[in-house]
Structures are given as C-alpha cells and as structure tokens.
C-alpha cells in the first residue's frame, strides 16, 4: 500500500514569500504530525492532529506558521513571510492510534534565499 | 523543559560486533520510548517501542532496554552489518500517541 507522501519534495523560495507544504497520510490513519529537521539536528515537533479534536499547536515557532487538515485526511502546512531560519526539511507522519508507530513521509526540503 | 541526549559522536564498529547506542533524558519518564532509523534524505522509520513498565524488548537482531531509575534507554544491534549503517533516533512519547520528542540522533557506521 502507499505510504505517506509529501509535496513538493524540494522548494526554493525568496525571503518574505509564503509557502504551502502538502502531506497525504496513509488511508485510515487518524493522527497526523508535522515536524521539522534542521541540518544535523533531531526532529522538532510542530503540530499534531487527532481525529476531530482541536490540534496540538504547541510546537509552532511563530504565528507565521499554520496548518490545517481537511476532511481528516490531507494536511497543508503554511509558512507566511518566510525567513532564512525557516530553511529545513519538513516531515509529516501519520499513525493509527492503537499502534503508536508513526509512519513518516520523505519530507519537503525548504530553502529560503 | 525535557532534554534528551544521545551519543553525540558517530559510532564506528566492525561488522559482526554489537552496536550499543545510548539515550538519556531528564525530568520524568515517558509513557513510551521509541527508536527510529533514518537514512540520508529519507524520513525516519520506526524500529521498536518500549513502555514505561517494560525493562527489555527484542525484535530480531535488535534489543532495547529502558531503565526509568537511570532515565536511560540502550539500543543494541547484534551481529551488525554494513546495511545497519544509518542515524538512529530516540524519541519520547508522554501521551501514548501524541507528539514525539526526539533526540539529535547517533550516526552508526558498520565497516566490513
């Protein structure tokens, strides 16, 4: 079966522009997570969706970051007015709640010039 | 805030030997502790999960221990192979399915 997919795989943008990153989770997975990974660093939690519950936004670094999940499936992470420090790999993961094992996508590499 | 430390230096071992990776954390113990493998340019892949009330978990050549007194988990790969070369990430789960808090990872290199 298909795994978690993310698009685009690479995104280069200019400072100040807005970007949208997309995540298609595994069908039937109710939980969806966004993380980011800076060069040589571990993963940093950003936001978590679980079913119809209010998302856990506690990891979003600023109000320039937002995410939504439509219809309990696809999710979009939006970064407004991008800054150079936003450059990182943005990883999405999904999970079936009863298994506690997160399945990660390949990530989107964002470069802000 | 919670702090997780993994071996900061790369671990180089000979094929066939046992690799042991360390994950130490501060503050209170998580409900679950997980280990992931990450290859360059790819997302992490789940390997093992161990619960707070478990001491040891095994899966094929992999073994994880969890000592809540020492606040430490050890990850062992026995009979290591060059294909085991990757970065291994420790992750803490305090909410049984919520967000994961990751360590920075340890790079393992297995030489033939």
DSSP string, B42-101: S--EEEEEEETT-SEEEETTEEEEEETTTTEEEEEESS--GGG-EEEEEEEESSSSS--E
CATH among 1.20.120.530, 2.60.40.10, 1.10.760.10, 3.40.50.300 for A5-9+23-107 = 2.60.40.10
* pLDDT tens, residue by residue, B62-81: 999 999 999 999 999 999 99
C-alpha separations of A70 from A21, A76, B14 in Å: 14, 8, 49
Note whether A4 and A92 are within 8 A (CB).
yes
Q: How far is CA A111 from the centre of its chain?
A: 15
Q: Is B46 on the interface with A (CB under 8 A)?
A: yes
pLDDT digits (tens, 9 = 90+) for A20-53: 999 999 998 999 999 999 987 789 999 999 988 8
Instruction: Report residue B107 as tokens.
Output: 């790079």
In percent, the amount of chain B with pLDDT more than 70 equals 100
Rounded distance between C-alpha atoms, residue B31 and residue B34, angstroms = 10
| Phi, psi for B13 (deg, rounded to 5) | -135, 165
Q: Write out pLDDT tens, residues A54-97.
A: 999 999 999 999 999 988 799 999 999 999 999 999 999 999 87
Q: Are B85 and B37 in contact (CB under 8 A)?
A: no
A83–B contact, CB cutoff 8 A = no
Mean pLDDT of chain A: 94
> Quick one: pLDDT band at residue B96, thresholds 50, 70, 90?
confident
Check whether A1 has a pLDDT greater than 70. Answer: no
Q: Is B41 on the interface with A (CB under 8 A)?
A: yes
Binary contact (B43, A107; C-beta < 8 A) = yes
Domain boundaries, chain A: 5-9+23-107
pLDDT at B59 over 90: yes
């Amino acid at each position: 079966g298909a795994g978690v997919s993310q698009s685009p795989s690479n995104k280069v943008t200019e400072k100040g522009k807005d970007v949208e990153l997309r995540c298609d989770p595994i069908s039937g997975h109710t939980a969806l997570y966004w993380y980011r990974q800076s060069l040589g660093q571990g993963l940093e939690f950003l936001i978590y969706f679980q079913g119809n519950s209010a998302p856990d936004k506690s990891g979003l670094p600023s109000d320039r970051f937002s995410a939504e999940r439509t219809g309990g499936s696809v999710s979009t992470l939006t970064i407004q007015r991008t800054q150079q420090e936003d450059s990182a790999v943005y990883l999405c993961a999904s999970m079936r709640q009863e298994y506690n094992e997160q399945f990660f996508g390949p990530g989107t590499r964002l470069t802000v010039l | 805030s919670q702090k997780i430390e993994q071996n900061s230096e790369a671990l180089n071992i000979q094929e066939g030997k046992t690799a042991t990776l360390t994950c130490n954390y501060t503050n209170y113990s998580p409900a679950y502790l997980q280990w992931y493998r990450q290859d360059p340019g790819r997302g992490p892949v789940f390997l093992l999960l161990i619960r707070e009330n478990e001491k040891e978990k095994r899966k094929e050549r992999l073994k994880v221990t969890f000592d809540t007194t020492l606040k430490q988990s050890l990850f062992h790969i026995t009979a290591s192979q060059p294909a085991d070369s990757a970065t291994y990430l420790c992750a803490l789960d305090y909410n049984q399915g919520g967000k994961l808090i990751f360590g920075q990872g340890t790079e393992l290199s297995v030489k033939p």
